[in-house]
Structure formats: structure tokens, C-alpha cells
């Protein structure tokens, strides 16, 4: 399948009738309280995972004198997008089904400078004994046909409530700055509905080329960093020259 066909297929993916607005309305109304409780639990899981990364970042900077994490973003999916996904996955619209079928209600995005940092951080996270790996998708080793690169983990972490412990699923996306920059721009194209098909395909091709350039930039920058850290005299020069940055 070429890129044009892939984009067309993605746009037309719709296997069943959508859940009716009435059904959605009645589900949300009936489950207002449990939905809000469930989403609060996901919010707690986000806090747990974000803290884990902040701790790893601090410790890494003690040992290696640099921070592997550029930024951490967290987001909770809206109820509407969760229901849209339930609909798209064609699974039952119940609280149990939402929890077991939708893995990315809580999302953490970790932005690193270099690809190696991504794998180091992912490994450190998964070594923690309260973290369980549910699924791993490596779109860095195997980029999507669009050119999308990122490492995705679905993990489960416990949150400790007043009288119980509850395991919650969190999606962690690891990207370099370059991968994130690319994904933000491509995201605009994906959600911009009113552009002609031809222009959309042309921009998608252009983005695919940019993905390949950004991938080689990541590798080259990483190699420069490695060479600098191998040569202590050059590293001192680098530290001197960054004092004003």
C-alpha cells in the first residue's frame, strides 16, 4: 500500500454504525459519579508516573551531569474522545469495558534530547517493581508509514487510595525533540479536515521526507554528543561556552 492509499484508508476506517448521541447522553448521565471517580484515579496514576520520571531525571543529572528529559507533558483524554474510541473499537459502552479496552486515557509524553535517552529511561522505568509492562510499540525502530516515530509503552502502576490499592493503565510516549516537533506538525495535517485530498497527499509526502531528515539529524546530534563526552578536554570547553546560554 502506498502513502496515498494508507491516508485514504485511515480516513475511511468506519466498520459499524456510530453509537447514537442518545445512548452516549444516557450513559454519561447514568454514570456521572463513577466516571468522575474513574478519571480521578487516572489523574492520580499520571501524578505517580510523572513523579517517577522527575526522580529519574534528577538522579541521572547527579551521575551524568546532564538531564536526559527535556520536558514531561501529561494529559487525560476527554470523556468524548474516550467514547469516540469505544465506538471506533466497537466494544461495549460500559465502565468496565472502557477500563479494559482503552489504554490511553492517561497519557504521559516524555521528551528527550537524544534517542539513546529514550531507551535508557524506558528501561529504568520498567525495572521498577511496581511498574508492569502491558504493551510496547517501538515506532522508532519501526516508524509508521506516515513517518511517525516514538516509543509507546502501556504500563500499569498502582495508586494508593484511602483503603485500597488500584492498578491503573498509563500510556507513555517517549520522543526526542525532533520527533515531537514533527508529530505536532503532522498532527495538524491529520486533523485539518477541509484541505483538498491532493494537497493533503502532497504535504504527507513532504512530511515523510522531513521524518527521514529528522531521524538522521537525531542520530548525527547523538553522535556529536557521544564524541564530546568521550573527549574530556572538549567537554570542558563545551561547559565553558555554555555558561552564557
* Contact residues: ligand 0O2, CB under 6 A: 104, 107, 137, 144, 146, 148, 152, 183, 186-187
Least gap, CB of 54 to ligand 0O2 (angstroms): 22
Least gap, CB of 102 to ligand 0O2 (angstroms): 9
CA distance 86 to 22: 15
Beta strand 69-76 with 151-160 is unpaired
27 or 148: whose CB is closer to ligand 0O2? 148
Beta strand 151-160 with 132-138 is antiparallel
Residue with cell 529528522: 214
Residue with cell 517517577: 52
3 or 221: whose CB is closer to ligand 0O2? 3
Out of 171, 202, 230, 234, the active site residue is: 171
Least gap, CB of 75 to ligand 0O2 (angstroms): 7
48 or 186: whose CB is closer to ligand 0O2? 186
How many CA atoms does the CB half-sphere of 51 hold within 13 Å?
9
26 or 135: whose CB is closer to ligand 0O2? 135
Beta strand 165-176 with 151-160 is antiparallel
DSSP 168-215: EEEEEEEEEHHHHHHHHHHHHHHH-TTS-HHHHHHHHHHHHHHHHHHH
Least gap, CB of 182 to ligand 0O2 (angstroms): 8
| 171 has catalytic annotation | yes
Residues annotated as catalytic are 171
Amino acid at each position: 500500500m502506498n502513502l496515498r492509499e494508507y491516508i485514504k484508508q485511515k480516513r475511511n476506517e468506519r466498520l459499524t454504525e456510530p453509537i447514537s448521541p442518545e445512548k452516549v447522553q444516557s450513559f454519561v448521565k447514568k454514570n456521572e459519579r463513577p466516571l468522575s471517580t474513574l478519571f480521578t484515579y487516572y489523574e492520580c496514576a499520571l501524578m505517580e508516573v510523572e513523579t517517577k520520571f522527575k526522580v529519574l531525571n534528577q538522579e541521572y543529572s547527579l551521575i551524568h551531569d546532564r538531564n536526559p528529559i527535556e520536558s514531561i507533558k501529561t494529559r487525560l483524554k476527554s470523556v468524548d474522545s474516550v467514547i469516540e474510541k469505544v465506538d471506533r473499537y466497537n466494544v461495549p459502552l460500559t465502565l468496565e469495558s472502557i477500563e479494559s479496552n482503552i489504554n490511553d486515557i492517561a497519557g504521559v509524553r516524555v521528551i528527550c534530547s537524544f534517542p539513546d535517552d529514550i531507551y535508557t529511561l524506558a528501561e529504568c522505568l520498567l525495572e521498577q517493581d511496581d511498574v508492569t509492562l502491558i504493551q510496547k510499540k517501538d515506532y522508532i525502530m519501526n516508524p509508521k508509514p506516515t513517518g511517525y516515530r516514538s516509543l509507546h509503552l502501556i504500563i500499569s502502576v498502582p495508586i494508593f487510595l484511602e483503603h485500597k490499592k488500584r492498578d491503573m493503565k498509563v500510556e507513555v510516549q517517549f520522543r526526542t525533540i525532533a520527533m515531537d516537533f514533527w508529530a505536532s506538525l503532522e498532527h495538524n495535517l491529520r486533523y485539518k479536515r477541509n484541505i483538498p485530498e491532493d494537497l493533503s497527499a502532497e504535504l504527507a509526502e513532504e512530511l515523510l521526507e522531513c521524518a527521514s531528515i529528522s531521524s538522521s539529524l537525531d542520530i548525527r546530534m547523538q553522535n556529536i554528543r557521544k564524541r564530546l563526552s568521550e573527549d574530556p578536554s572538549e567537554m570542558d570547553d563545551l561547559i565553558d561556552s555554555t555558561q552564557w546560554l
